Each structure stands twice: as structure tokens, then as C-alpha cells.
Amino acid sequence: MFENWEELKENCLNCRKCSLCEARSNVVFGVGNPRAKVMFIGEGPGRNEDLQGEPFVGAGGQLLDKYLAAVDLDRRTNIYIANIVKCRPQNRDPLQEEQEACMDWLRNQTALLRPKIIVCLGRIAAMRIIKPDFKITREHGQFFKKGNIYMTATLHPAALLRNPAQKPAAFDDFLKLRDKIDELQADISKTY
């Protein structure tokens, strides 16, 4: 466990804990404000992310940024975005063993960020973070409280590009997220 964000990042960027390190161009550590209280977690980098070293920079990322902007969120200022695995699995879901090998980085990121809300982007992240039997089509947009953290999942941006009919449902998840942020902010301010 690293106590310092920069130290954590530097060590993660040199990670060789699993074989995904062999073919990577970049470790995709994450993007955003390390003091943010809302954390998004995706699955793992795709081709564009591997090349640029930043999560969600392809067409899916543009859609994500649009939804974020619609609820007054911005990837660089008031949220943090990370992935379950930090190196690109070549056009497949990350294997359980790759997820396991990578989880300590995410645990350390979460421990330092201490988010109040975690939003899983897609099924893989929701199954890993919220519960193993998470059903993304049925349970997206619902909040689950684990310890002090409110957790929710929305449909993966890449799934929305493949199936645009699901976009209104995903947009609704972002509206619910906005409501939850506002609700928690009101609670927090009441305590001061």
C-alpha cells in the first residue's frame, strides 16, 4: 500500500505482475482529480487507450464525456476514472487472473481517493466491484451501499455504441447519479 498518489502511480507504471505487460504501449493508470469523491471504474484499456495512456479516449470515451457534461461532471476536474485492469487485453475480456493481479492497484487508488460514490462502467466492473452476480441489464442505475460508499453501474459506452437503443436508459443512470451527488452534498453540508 502506497500512501502517496505519485508514488503509487510511478510503481503502477512499471508493473509486471501479469503477462499483459508484454504487449502494452502504456499502462493506463487513470485520469482525473485524485481528490474527487466520485470514481468511475471501467474494464480495461482498448487500443486507443493503450496508445494514449488514458482511459476512455475512443468513440466510447467521447460518448462518456457527453453524458458526464450533461450532468456537470468533467473527467479532469471533479471525478476520477480508472479501470479494473491497467494494461490492454488484446480484444477480449480481462481474464480472472489478470483482474486479480491488477486489483491491488485499484484498491490502493480507492483507499487514497476515499470516494463517496463509485460508478462501474459495464458488466465486468460491476461484477468485480458490486457483486459477482450483477445483472447489468436489470440492475444498472440502482445504488448499492457497501460500507460508506454508494455504488452503482451503468451500461458500458462501447455497448451503447453497438446498441444505441440503450442510450436513453444509460442517460437516465447519469441523471440518477447527479441526484445522488446532490443528495450527498446536501447531507455533507448539513453536518458542518
| Contacting positions for ligand URA (CB under 6 A) | 28, 42-46, 49, 55-56, 60, 83, 121
Alpha carbon distance 86, 106 (integer Å) = 9
Nearer CB in complex with ligand URA: 32/45: 45
Nearer CB in complex with ligand URA: 100/184: 100
Assign 160 to helix, strand or coil: helix
The CB-of-186 to ligand URA minimum distance in angstroms stands at: 31
Nearer CB in complex with ligand URA: 83/108: 83
Contacts 24+ apart (CB under 8 A), 104-112: 105/8, 105/12, 105/15, 105/29, 106/41, 106/82, 108/1, 108/2, 108/8, 109/8, 109/30, 109/39, 109/80, 109/82, 110/39, 111/1, 112/2, 112/3, 112/5, 112/8, 112/34
The CB-of-112 to ligand URA minimum distance in angstroms stands at: 20
Find how far residue 119's CA is from the centre of its chain: 6
Helix extents (H) in the chain: 5-13, 20-23, 47-52, 59-70, 96-113, 123-129, 136-139, 157-162, 167-190
Nearer CB in complex with ligand URA: 44/115: 44
Nearer CB in complex with ligand URA: 61/179: 61
Which residue has the CB atom at the shortest distance from ligand URA? 42
The CB-of-54 to ligand URA minimum distance in angstroms stands at: 8
The CB-of-189 to ligand URA minimum distance in angstroms stands at: 33
The CB-of-28 to ligand URA minimum distance in angstroms stands at: 6
